[in-house]
Amino acid sequence: MLTLRPGGTTLADLESFWRAGGPARLDPAAQAGVARAAEAVAAAAGGEAPVYGVNTGFGKLASVRIAQADTETLQRNLILSHCCGVGAELDVPTTRLMLALKLLSLGRGASGVRAEVTALIEGMLAAGITPAVPVQGSVGASGDLAPLAHMAAALIGVGEVIVAGARRPAAEALAAAGLAPVVLGPKEGLALINGTQFSTALALTGLWQAQALLEASLVTACLSTDAIMGSDAPLDEGIHALRGQPGQIAVAARMRALMAGSAIRESHREGDARVQDPYCIRCVPQVVGAAADLIGFAARTLEIEANAVTDNPLVLPHDTPSGRILSGGNFHGEPVAFAADILALALAEIGAIAQRRVALMVDPALSHDLPPFLTPRPGLNSGYMIAEVTTAALMSENKHLATPCSTDSTPTSANQEDHVSMAAHGARRLGRMADNLTVILGVEALCAAQGVEFRAPLRTSPRLAAALAALRAEVPRLEADRLLAPEIERAAALVRSGALVRAAEVA
């Protein structure tokens, strides 16, 4: 079971939860703060002073006072009216991650919800009850209102949930698990739907995919370097130390380790008429290293956001004995939107330089004596000709998807919410980009393996040979034309699962 420590949960903890599933609960030490904030909200609900979302309407209707007797109806209506999401549903692991992030936020003790609310989220995670949440409808301020409303609806027994892969009415699934829907108290509906947890969950999954794909791209880049008999001189430590960029230094070191012991490289260290390799070989540390730095920046932003309180208003219980409730704007998703845009740039550029390596290997004018399109009998066979075209299509698609989303604001809610972040679809597009990059790297692995085998009896390095063997266990060498689509998918699956990287690590 994952114990969520509000303000101190790591990305490693959250990634493990996302990948492996299982229950999660708040650190018991958080309960006292949760209770204090709930008491402050209850006191405000019974008072005369207007407090946004506690005894007033919402958004443009904030000036409308709500009687204490209508508090429960107010919060329930908020959830029902905001369930306006459309489109495909968020996958179960990412929805569960969103629930965990909401627990982390509520557990900071500034949202004013009762322990019953957090306990129900914990119970749903333990019972495998996952709200059905459409992915479209959020503009990333005032929080991810529509998707989080669908999440919250399940807590009040409304809408549908996923249990063991099947859709069920929320009330029915809760009852079967021995759980009761919560009747929302003052501010609790607002606390559930205000926040960036939908966008942050999607951005985190994009981050983790980007990190894994960057590692895979170094394996395929090194295989491609040996396939075209490229030089490892541009990986020299001294070159990268002089520039000082940390990602570049780390990438070059990783590539030196992967290529160590390559007989292919040693065979042309002397007497090679070529002076320099094309940039897609020579500048991998500079390009992918820069992407690594961007990914690192996004990771730091998202770890903070995962532990953040992002609803509104917020309870500051330590300022006065009775607490102080203030309206602010922590729901604005700009930090997540910027992180998502940065990740999109990194994914696009890792794919762009990888695609050029594929193009290099299939071109006999540039591949240093490899046969055209990497087939033993070109002309009769087309080899990897159209596989390279597929990578070009995916590379171009990712370039378009990398267009920033954070700069595209539009006013909503009768101009009350007049600047929004677009964090939700900025983060959502990362999954599609990662899928595209996975295929690009899978095709690069296929082409590089074919190229390296054409250099026999010379052998690549032990680590790269292990990666090649893992690929060949799934896809045989291409001797004559055959149906390639299933083989591209199997190669992409090796990249997606991390098996290609793990094989290179074991050797």
Structure tokens that stand for 274 in this block: 């070529």
- Joined together, the tokens standing for residue 399 give 């370039």
80 contacts: CB under 8 Å, gap ≥ 6: 153, 158
Q: 413: helix, coil or strand? A: coil
Task: Please state, as a whole number, how many other Cβ atoms lie within 10 Å of the Cβ of residue 273.
Answer: 5
Determine whether 279 is an active site residue.
no
Pairing of strands 160-163, 314-316: unpaired
3-state secondary structure 295-342: HHHHHHHHHHHHCCCCCCCEEECCCCCCCEEECCCCCCCHHHHHHHHH
- Active-site position among 17, 18, 52, 58: 52
Residue 357 has which token pair? Answer: 């390596």
10 Å Cβ neighbour count for 416? 13
Measured between alpha carbons, how far is 324 from 316 in angstroms, rounded to an integer? 5
Residue 135 φ/ψ region, left for φ over 0, alpha for ψ in the -120 to 50 degree band, beta for the rest: alpha
Structure tokens at 286: 């500079």
Residue for token digits 């109806």?
A: 73
> Which amino acids are annotated catalytic?
52
